[in-house]
Amino acid sequence: MLISLAHAAEPAAPAGAGLMGFLPLIIIFVLFYFMLIRPQMKRAKEQRAMLESLQKGDEVVTAGGLVGKIAKISEGYVSLEVADNVVMHVQKQAIQTLLPKGTIKGID
């Protein structure tokens, strides 16, 4: 009786079958990394470099859409001259884009 049960049992699954089950998950993670995580890290690095390179006189756009020229810059804040004798203080992190010189004159 034991011998007939042993012959009736199915053979064990090969060891590589478990890895093949995880292969789609690994492929999805690799695609996720290259399509989402890596570009976001690159943009964050470029933004950080742009904020570190800001100087007095640079023309910038804030996240709120304000366009101005940097009048004063400190560790965490920037003073923007948005019009003649109108200076606003914004957080450095709120600066979104560094504009080419002379852009403000073209907007007026």
Asked whether residue 6 is assigned to any structural domain, the reply reads no
pLDDT mean over 15-41: 88
Asked if 30 and 65 sit in the same domain, the reply is no
**Tens digits of per-residue pLDDT, 51-95?**
999 999 999 999 999 999 999 999 999 999 999 999 999 999 999
Asked if 99 and 59 sit in the same domain, the reply is yes
For residues 7 and 92, give the distance between their C-alpha atoms in angstroms, rounded to a whole number: 75
Asked if 45 and 63 sit in the same domain, the reply is no
Nearest to 47 by CA among 104, 105, 95: 95
Residue 22's domain comprises: 14-50
Asked if 63 and 35 sit in the same domain, the reply is no
Asked if 44 and 59 sit in the same domain, the reply is no
CATH number at residue 100: 2.30.30.100
Q: What pTM was estimated for this model as a whole? A: 0.68
Asked if 33 and 18 sit in the same domain, the reply is yes
